[in-house]
C-alpha cells in the first residue's frame, strides 16, 4: 500500500479518533498529541502488515472494510497509550474536566474507553473485546459498572 492510499483511508477517521482521545484526556492539546502518538506507533509497529495490503480507491466496499480494520488497529494503540498517559496525568485531569461532564471523567479510564467505543463509535461487545484484548465478560462488566456509576452520580439514590 502506498502512503497516499493510507492517508486517504485514515483521513475520514481523524474526527472520530480525536473525539475518542478526548474521551480519555479532556484537553485539546493532549488529545491531539495522543492521536498523533497513536498513529505513529501504529505505523511503526504494523508497517509490514500495512505495506502488504492492496487498496483500490474505486471499490467503496473494500475501502470501508479497510477503514474499519485500520480504525480498530488505531483504537487499540490509542487506548493503550491513552491509559498510560491518563495514569500519568491523574492530578491534572481533575482540573481539565469540562463543566457538566465531571461525572463521566471521574470514571476509570478503561471504563470511559469501553463506553466511548460502545456508545460513540458503535462497536459491538465482541469488537470492543478484540480491540482492547480483554474477555467479553469484562467489557460487559465495565459497561454495566460505568452506566451504574454515572446514574448513581447524576441521580443519587436512584439506583437500587
User: Which pLDDT belongs to residue 59?
Assistant: 80
Give the Cα separation of 5 and 33 in Å (integer): 23
pLDDT at 2 over 80: no
Structurally, how many domains does the chain consist of?
Answer: 1
User: Which pLDDT belongs to residue 106?
Assistant: 83
Residue 134 lies in a domain: yes
User: Which pLDDT belongs to residue 143?
Assistant: 96
CB atoms within 10 A of CB 60: 9
Residue 105 lies in a domain: yes
Kindly report the pTM of this predicted structure.
0.82
Q: What is the pLDDT of residues 124-146, one digit of tens each?
A: 999 999 999 999 999 999 999 99
Residue 110 lies in a domain: yes
Mean pLDDT calculated for residue range 141-158 = 84
Query: Domain containing 147: what range?
Result: 3-154
The three cell numbers of residue 158 are: 436512584
CB-side neighbour CA atoms (13 Å) of 100: 0
Give the Cα separation of 85 and 81 in Å (integer): 6
Residue 159 lies in a domain: no
More confident residue, 159 or 39: 39
User: Which pLDDT belongs to residue 114?
Assistant: 96
User: Which pLDDT belongs to residue 5?
Assistant: 67
Q: What is the pLDDT of residues 72-126, one digit of tens each?
A: 999 999 999 999 988 887 777 667 777 777 788 888 999 999 999 999 989 999 9
Give the Cα separation of 41 and 38 in Å (integer): 5
Q: What is the DSSP letter of 2?
A: -
Angle of the 28-45 helix axis to the 14-24 helix axis, nearest 10: 120
CB atoms within 10 A of CB 51: 10
CATH number for position 94: 1.20.140.160
In three-state secondary structure terms, 157 is coil
Q: What is the pLDDT of residues 7-51, one digit of tens each?
A: 777 788 889 999 999 988 888 888 999 999 998 998 888 887 777
Going from the C-alpha of 159 to that of each of 27, 141, 155, the distances in angstroms are 31, 17, 8
Give the Cα separation of 79 and 81 in Å (integer): 6
Residue 144 lies in a domain: yes
Q: What percent of the chain has pLDDT over 70?
A: 90
User: Average per-residue pLDDT in the chain?
Assistant: 85
Residue 130 lies in a domain: yes
Residue 160 lies in a domain: no
Amino acid at each position: 500500500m502506498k502512503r497516499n492510499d493510507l492517508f486517504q483511508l485514515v483521513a475520514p477517521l481523524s474526527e472520530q479518533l480525536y473525539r475518542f482521545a478526548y474521551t480519555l484526556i479532556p484537553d485539546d492539546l493532549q488529545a491531539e498529541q495522543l492521536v498523533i502518538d497513536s498513529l505513529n506507533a501504529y505505523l511503526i509497529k504494523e508497517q509490514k502488515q500495512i505495506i502488504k495490503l492492496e487498496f483500490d480507491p474505486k471499490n467503496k466496499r473494500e475501502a470501508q472494510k479497510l477503514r474499519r480494520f485500520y480504525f480498530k488497529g488505531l483504537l487499540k494503540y490509542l487506548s493503550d497509550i491513552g491509559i498510560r498517559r491518563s495514569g500519568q496525568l491523574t492530578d491534572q485531569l481533575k482540573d481539565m474536566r469540562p463543566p457538566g461532564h465531571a461525572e463521566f471523567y471521574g470514571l476509570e479510564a478503561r471504563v470511559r474507553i469501553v463506553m466511548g467505543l460502545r456508545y460513540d463509535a458503535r462497536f459491538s461487545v465482541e469488537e470492543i473485546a478484540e480491540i482492547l484484548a480483554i474477555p467479553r465478560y469484562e467489557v460487559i462488566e465495565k459497561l454495566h459498572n460505568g452506566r451504574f456509576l454515572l446514574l448513581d452520580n447524576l441521580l443519587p439514590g436512584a439506583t437500587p
